[in-house]
Structure 1
Amino acid sequence: MSQRLVATHLVDMMAPVLVLWLVMSLSGTWAVDKGNFKTCDQSAFCKRQRALKPGESPYRALLETMELTGTRLTLQLINDNNKVRLLLELYRLQGNITRVKINELKPLKPRYEVPDVLIREPPTEPLSLLSQDENGVVLSLGSESQRVIVSARPFRLDIMEGREVLMSLNSRGLLAFEHLRMRKDTFSYKVTSTVASVWDNIKRVFSSQVDPEGEKKEEADPASQAEKAKEEEEEEKVEAGMWEETFKSHSDSKPNGPSAISLDFSLPGVEHVYGIPEHADTLRLKTTENGDPYRLYNLDVFQYELYNPMALYGAVPVMLAHNAQRTTGIFWLNAAETWVDISSNTAGKTVFGKMLDYVQGSSETPQTDVRWISESGIIDVFIMLGPTPKDVFSQYASLTGTQSFPPEAAVGYHQCRWNYNDQEDVTSVDAGFDEHDIPYDYIWLDIEHTDGKRYFTWDPHKFATPKEMLQGLMDKKRKMVAIVDPHIKVDSNYKIHNEIRNRAFYIKNKDGGDYEGWCWPGSAGYPDFTRADMRDWWASMFAYDQYEGSMENLYAWNDMNEPSVFNGPEVTMHKDAVHGAWEHRDMHNLYGFYVQMATAQGLIQRSGGVERPFVLTRAFFAGSQRYGAVWTGDNAAEWEHLKISIPMCLSLGLVGISFCGADVGGFFKSPSTELLVRWYQTGAYQPFFRAHAHLDTPRREPWLFGPENTALIREAVRQRYTLLPYWYQQFYHAHRTGQPIMRPLWVEYPQDPATFALDDEFLIGRDLLVHPVTEEGARGVTAYLPGKDEVWFDVHTFQKHNGAQNLYIPVTIRSIPVFQRGGSIIPRKSRVRRSSSCMMQDPYTLYVALNPQRTATGELYIDDGHTFNYEKKEFIHRKLFFANNMLSSVNLAPDSQFSTQSWFERIIILGASKPGKVTLKTADGQESQLEFDFDASMSVLTLRKPGMNAGLDWNVMLQLP
């Protein structure tokens, strides 16, 4: 081997070690070092904006500039301090949404407007003028009852329904828009200033000829001169951080100067707000008056701290506000670093001015005030007016799309570790699941499977024959996920690097060269995924003839896509890096969104558009739901991390990202056996179900903790697989409607204040309530069962409980408290096999839980589980309902051509009465008597082997004695 090859090999071997050392140093040896991440006071624009005082707005609306053209209102705003004008645009969108845009009227250069997140240009509806006077204007938002009031001095905007203020904008006067300007010490500024000065002198001379007193008058205006001097003095005071700032050892140049934007929103009558993930915090967002605002800035945070507003891996700038009367939402479409302040106030402060004389207000009414602050871009906000939670979900889905519909196997269990050592290790782990009778669908490979962290490659020694490995999994109807990160090793012998460099696809640094930073391979370049041609090329790399060794059962995982830059500021990219005409600061939070988009596109293209992709991402933004799943990042094997996984996933579901989960067992550290078992029991009832562990942790495959714990984990995983028909049905509905899969109780019980702050239990769809055990050594939990006139059935014991109560539940290590809502029908599959694909044609069991009115409804959805053929109506969709002692199946997809071999092997009716006989009538008119058992002590009726096909019409009649 040549000296050069030896040296290269040593560098490849040492780079990960050096990087690990660097990361551990940055992160405080596997614990977050908050000193590596900015506070608001250390973020110049946040500190600057937060220093503004409420009630001193310099902005007023110039009513004489108003234009109303059908569906669009435009109006100029002026800042009386600096005379800079802004342009306000207001739209009424279909579906009860109002859009407000504010930009500079004449910016020095275009400001960044977020592309690609909206699925289309939202359709608009007409606006009409109701009244106007010197104080403002009143517009109709589609009806007389819903109006928007624009007040002129100071500018504010109120959205009303009847006499109720739903939301106010700039009611606290915190609108701020830092206009683009030239730096005073630049040549361009001096030339421009000189030209302007000469022109002013010419005008003064001309003016003095026309009016001899003109020059004298201008010179004698001390108020004007004082105002100008004061403005210059104020600008000098805040000069620090406006054109550049330093954090730790990193300098952030700002060639375009200060460009921050801010706007406040007041929510009368609201005490509970939710959303703006990702934060490791409670479901209900907290007030931030006494600390930092919530931060939205995608960052690689090792072992993040809990109950903290610090930024994490993803950013979705969507907030929901809820009270017993109404749910509304705010979607702040901006991809720059953003801070969100939340405070409590009183409704009386939103009610003033002639235009609002007829509004009733009470100082005792609660109110939440929210302020959004972003570093750059424009104000582009969508106000979703509900009125119900489901309306807000539909409104947001109409803007950014719905959750992608995954292959059914992706809803099963995933086994992952950093890293499975080699092909033999993969084979051994795969065999271990069979030996211990635990089902799974995907086994995962982390970064060590590659050839020296070169993505789209395999280690030539440890994974020498990847197709043989993949074929072995395929023979068992199992699949694999391999990591493909967006940092590309700088290596002239690496095809991917050479292609990206030759096509000039790398992000540039401020000086025009390719941006380079340190990540797992050592020195790495970062492809510019904001470019459509780059994304197209990246997608083409997943083709089977490009990604050598890949097969149709290999899927993808995008990690480190915040992007993570180990030697960058805050472990991410420098903000003055360049994407074409734009700085990275403008679009930072979009990078991971684009990486997942391109990867999903690649998996679809490689199959000719036939197969659904599965892509997991760590970084995300609004709209990421269209491309796959997310997880909560580098958590730890601690009880508090288990608990926080629930509100973290609930928060994501509220803003459209339903396919969420947390690393089962915790990524860092080693869980106790009790914690591991409890985590499996919790993860089995979250949408994305994956175990994962750090490289330095002891192995933790499910069978390594003794036969008793293996049995407990097996049972939790098997519960997941029996419920796959219901889970898959929920994903179908999320894809069609935008409704969350894992949802807080208040979504289904919006008028029950007892549900508003609950985040230790949740619903799957409407009909399953889960209260995981997340306390060490717990001997009981207290679950709130909602619904005054409802009943809930324990899915394990079939015991019936009334709603609207706090129920104490004794638990053992085997317990997973789950309840089925009375009035629901849930399909299950009782024959658990080694993977979901092995269960495709297996029979169903229906669990019919009767409500006090002795009725129940449900659905059954079946398709091929992996292609896009469902878009061609190739699926079975049945409505199941029980009423008048008859259970029926009715076709909801009459045009479907799809069929199944699956049949019903059992029907279990909870809360039933004992029948005299049971008759089955099929679609062809044939009747037969069914055998049944009745448990009088629990009122459970079991119909055995009814035998009808799952895709056909039928009725089952209970004839009571």
Structure 2
Amino acid sequence: MALVVSAVKREDFKSCAQSGFCTRNRAYADLASETPDWESPFRLDPASLQLEDGILTGDLMHTPTTSSSSAESSGALNDGYTLEIHLLDNDAVRVRMSERDPKRRRYDGLHKTVLVKPLISSSQYDHLARDENGLFTINYGSQRQNSARIRFAPFQIEFLVDGVSTLVLNEGGLLKIEAAQARNDVADTRTRALLERRLEQGMWSERFKDIVDTKPRGPESFGLDITFPEIEDVYGIPEHASSLSLKTTRGPGAQYTEPYRLYNLDVFEYEIDSPMALYGSIPFMLGHSKDKTVGVFWMNAAETWIDIEKIKSTSGSNRKTTRTHWYSEAGVLDLFVFLGPTHRDILKQYSSLVGATALPQSFAIGYHQCRWNYISQKDVTEVDAGFEKHEIPYDVLWLDIEHTDGKRYFTWHPEQFPDPIDMQLHLASKGRKMVTIIDPHIKMDKEYHVSIEATDKSLFVMNSLLSPFDGWCWPGSSQWVDFENPRAKDWWASQFSYDRYIGSTNTLFTWNDMNEPSVFTGPEITLPKDAMHHNRVEHRSIHNIYGAMFHAATAQGLTTRNETLQRPFVLSRAFFAGSQRYGAIWTGDNKASWEHFAVATPMLLTIGLAGLPFSGADVGGFFGDPEPELLTRWYQAGAFYPFFRAHAHLDSKRREPWLFGEPYTSQIRAAIRTRYSLLPLWYTLFQEASTEGVPIIRPMFFEFPSDELTYRMDDQFMVGDALLVKPVTTAGATHSEVYFAGNEKWFDFYDGQVKRGPGVQSVPSPAYKIPVYQRAGTIIPKREKPRRSSKEMENDPFTLVIAVDSNGEASGRLYLDDGESFEYTRGDYILREFKVQGRVLTSRSLNRQESETEWSFIRRFSSLKVERIVFQGLSGPVSRVVIGDRPTAVESGHDVAGGQYVVVVSKANLPIGQDWSVTLL
């Protein structure tokens, strides 16, 4: 939800020119570009270097050269800095810089929230070596394939893979660290004369509209340029309503005039094609070219801006080099470098630090029905009955803020929801769940038990004067829980116990909204930066992780409310690196327009590449009233989002799937049923994401990394490695231009018609379907019997759809567990690998945790059957099928599609939990 219903008001949010530290760092970059023979003023003392147990330390000094002397105030008044380079056991490298003896210590506690475990240093490295050019090099990695090459003066770190330069820190000399200092420490008139005082703008206090940021610690921002040599395309740093391949913000022909901004904000009806900050922030960037891939994680939760520029390659190559300039307002300079060598390797390395996505309960990947607001228990019953009447499956019905008693969270409106437990039990009888909204702002009310307890325990955020902060949000005068305080996290989690959240059951789950946090009376509609948290941590230092801490505390509460632990489901609007450990997110308050529909694809792909795969966009658009065609097309695409939810604003017309009549009801029903038929595939992909850190929906280049035509392609995507999906995002379209990558076959998901790549082809996209194609060489598990919910499908048999490649081979997986508990972590799951080689289909177990104990799920469900098998793309006819040693006739006969044979075995009856083989003769 957002404050009002109107187009985004840009004046409510800062531009770089209105942000002091952004202006100062950009001005520093201007000074560097305008100064001949510019050199970074930072030098590394060679005599100070020590390498021990995988950690290199040294003294970094700010010693202005002639070219940089006009910028002395950027850090000259400090006794020096410490440099740390940590070689980690996952082949990542951590680089840290901070003042040696600071006058005021910077916030440095982010790792406690972001990183999942203490870092382990690597023993796989060679000793420090110095060459004839005065460079020190460390070779590391299992094969010593990676190198960190350190230059002393000017200071620079270059990372190489097999001798090829892949990433460079401070190549452009933009390293700038503002030391905390007393206000009268800076009096350099040359700086003000040269850059019109931009290098000192907003250092001591800053006004935006009528609100003053007091900046009690003075200036403490820092910046660094990060260069991707001969890599033209970089991705990541969500959330922005922009393209997949990030656009330029500096240099000739820059596509944006503003830098990309990371600062979690409530920006309703956000602009399309803009680097404006939105609801979430993940400072992770991936660079990719045909012959190299590299990742960077800038571990900082303060406001951050990032400039992107394309420059000529110094090697003389035709490829451009991407130079990025990162700058944050507070905290320490703490970044990680991942050299892969593949993007899959990089995401696994990254997720080993910040965590992979939590495996959700199985219901969570079904269809969710939501609007602001289903106003009563009677309304809930009627909506549920509508799904029954029209035979449309769904798993979750959602309630927004009006379900509460006066917008007091953890309560129910006594007249409109008189018996919430009975309501939940009614839905549960059909395998369905309910979600209620719970936000971080707490109504100031002397009779509201949550407000009373948090006040008595001093668990609210304070203002700059160390009095309880009072702002305005949905309940009116409100306070915000301080999740930087460990006691607050545990206290918040305890509110979800059944004896405290009266009217809740184990089928009730949670939606965390407004957790940027949104404060209607605050600067930029959020908390003031000088608000104070536990241990006098300024809000500016942890702003971007506040929502993730709230998300984590809620997930903890839903997990621990049961004696037998149950996986939580929590949707969050704000997010940061690590949010994937707690649940799903969505792209925020979008609009019922074709433009917002189209931009959802690159937004979701970007979020997935940044390590948060469980994401979705509000189907139909939150604001406004979608025309029936737009709504239908959005459902068809939304069925292939990892998180599949329809949502609508309070002032929008009702738009349950059957309200537009035919043919739209049937078309929407078909889209939702497609999602349900593919739930076995989706659940298997979620399991892969939870162990490997890979996205669930993937940009084309992820699966075809050598195909340069895919690098900026963001209007179609892959679901796993098997399905190609092309959303139809233009009104009235009956055909779509689809790019078929690779020199292989692609099979129409609906009718088996064959296309062959590589190249773009025009394919039909009639009103009742969008282009979806199965990639040759893959096997997709399905369940094809229509049911009212995913719970009612758990005993249904499976269909395997096999698309063999030109070698007659294919492979795929199926993952199953109880869909609710954490028993899978102990080995109670089924993971099967299916392979076709030499016209033989085999099934074998990949469960690495099998033991002599007969696990509950395996015992109950190992007899589930593979009932039907469809072979596509066979090179010749099949006369019969042998299952094990039992001959079976091919009941469907042979059909030829695109010169390929299709064979269907309709009564295979093969147990899913056992090894077996099927031979085609």
Counterparts of 1:446 and 1:743 in 2: how far apart (Å)? 31
Matched with 1:60 is 43
Counterparts of 1:235 and 1:503 in 2: how far apart (Å)? 49
Matched with 2:306 is 340
Q: CA deviation at 1:807?
A: 1.6
Matched with 1:869 is 823
Matched position secondary structure for 1:116:
helix
Matched position secondary structure for 1:88:
strand
Alignment-mate amino acid for residue 408 of structure 1? S
Matched with 2:420 is 466
Alignment-mate amino acid for residue 740 of structure 1? P
Q: CA deviation at 1:592?
A: 0.4
Alignment-mate amino acid for residue 856 of structure 1? A
Q: CA deviation at 1:466?
A: 0.4
Counterparts of 1:605 and 1:563 in 2: how far apart (Å)? 25
Aligned residue pairs, count = 878
The structure with the largest alpha-carbon Rg is 1
Q: CA deviation at 1:611?
A: 0.9
Aligned match of 1:795 in 739, 746, 749? Answer: 749
Matched with 2:724 is 769
Matched with 2:61 is 78
Matched with 2:11 is 35
Alignment of 1:519-538 (within 5 A): 519-538=473-492
Q: Retained in 1: the 8 A contact 2:91–2:122?
A: no
Q: Retained in 1: the 8 A contact 2:21–2:201?
A: no
Q: Retained in 2: the 8 A contact 1:63–1:136?
A: no
Matched with 1:183 is 183
Q: Retained in 2: the 8 A contact 1:519–1:566?
A: yes
Matched with 2:692 is 737
With 314-323 and 100-109 compared, the bigger mean Cα shift is at 100-109
Aligned match of 1:325 in 273, 276, 291? Answer: 291
Matched with 2:25 is 49
With 674-683 and 858-867 compared, the bigger mean Cα shift is at 858-867
Matched position secondary structure for 2:896:
coil
Counterparts of 1:389 and 1:931 in 2: how far apart (Å)? 42
Q: CA deviation at 1:69?
A: 1.8
Matched with 1:586 is 541
Q: CA deviation at 1:70?
A: 3.0
Alignment of 1:527-926 (within 5 A): 527-580=481-534, 581-608=536-563, 610-788=565-743, 790-893=744-847, 894-895=850-851, 897=855, 898-899=858-859, 900=861, 901-912=863-874, 913-921=876-884
Matched, 1:118 2:118: no
Counterparts of 2:337 and 2:54 in 1: how far apart (Å)? 16
Q: Retained in 2: the 8 A contact 1:268–1:346?
A: no
Matched with 1:941 is 903
1:453-501: CA deviation from partner (whole Å, max 9, x where unpaired): 1000000110111001011111111000000100000000000000000
Counterparts of 2:189 and 2:590 in 1: how far apart (Å)? 53
Counterparts of 2:221 and 2:188 in 1: how far apart (Å)? 22
Matched position secondary structure for 2:114:
coil
Aligned match of 2:453 in 496, 499, 503? Answer: 499
Counterparts of 1:64 and 1:235 in 2: how far apart (Å)? 36
Matched position secondary structure for 1:125:
coil
Matched, 1:392 2:387: no
Matched position secondary structure for 1:64:
helix
Q: Retained in 1: the 8 A contact 2:802–2:871?
A: yes
Counterparts of 1:131 and 1:300 in 2: how far apart (Å)? 51
Matched with 1:130 is 129
Counterparts of 1:232 and 1:892 in 2: how far apart (Å)? 66
Q: CA deviation at 1:134?
A: 8.3
Counterparts of 2:149 and 2:826 in 1: how far apart (Å)? 46
Distance 1:376 1:467, change over 3 A: same
Alignment-mate amino acid for residue 914 of structure 2? L
Matched position secondary structure for 1:51:
helix
Distance 1:507 1:235, change over 3 A: farther
Alignment-mate amino acid for residue 935 of structure 1? H
- The sequence identity of aligned pairs, in percent, is 45
Could you say what the CA RMSD is over the residues aligned between the two structures, in angstroms? Answer: 1.8
Alignment TM-score, normalising by the size of structure 2 = 0.93
Alignment-mate amino acid for residue 393 of structure 1? L
Counterparts of 1:848 and 1:452 in 2: how far apart (Å)? 55
Q: Retained in 2: the 8 A contact 1:135–1:153?
A: no
Counterparts of 2:887 and 2:131 in 1: how far apart (Å)? 74
With 604-613 and 821-830 compared, the bigger mean Cα shift is at 604-613
Counterparts of 1:134 and 1:718 in 2: how far apart (Å)? 65
Q: Retained in 2: the 8 A contact 1:445–1:481?
A: yes
Q: Structure 2: give runs of 5+ residues left out of the alignment.
A: 33-37, 64-71
Alignment-mate amino acid for residue 251 of structure 1? V
Matched with 2:69 is none
Q: Retained in 1: the 8 A contact 2:223–2:326?
A: yes
Alignment TM-score, normalising by the size of structure 1 = 0.89
Counterparts of 1:595 and 1:246 in 2: how far apart (Å)? 28
Alignment of 1:127-526 (within 5 A): 127=125, 128-131=127-130, 135-142=134-141, 145-184=145-184, 237=197, 238-289=199-250, 290=254, 291-348=257-314, 361-362=315-316, 364-526=318-480
Matched with 2:86 is 91
Q: Structure 1: give runs of 5+ residues left out of the alignment.
A: 1-18, 194-226, 349-360
Aligned match of 1:950 in 894, 912, 916? Answer: 912
Q: CA deviation at 1:932?
A: 2.2
Q: Retained in 1: the 8 A contact 2:24–2:201?
A: no
Matched position secondary structure for 1:390:
helix
1:302-327: CA deviation from partner (whole Å, max 9, x where unpaired): 11001000000000000000001111
Alignment-mate amino acid for residue 104 of structure 2? K
Q: CA deviation at 1:888?
A: 1.4
Q: CA deviation at 1:708?
A: 1.4
Counterparts of 2:378 and 2:231 in 1: how far apart (Å)? 58
Matched with 2:66 is none
Counterparts of 1:710 and 1:235 in 2: how far apart (Å)? 62
1:642-688: CA deviation from partner (whole Å, max 9, x where unpaired): 11110000001101111111000000000000000000000001100
With 877-886 and 533-542 compared, the bigger mean Cα shift is at 877-886
Alignment-mate amino acid for residue 50 of structure 1? R
Distance 1:499 1:930, change over 3 A: farther
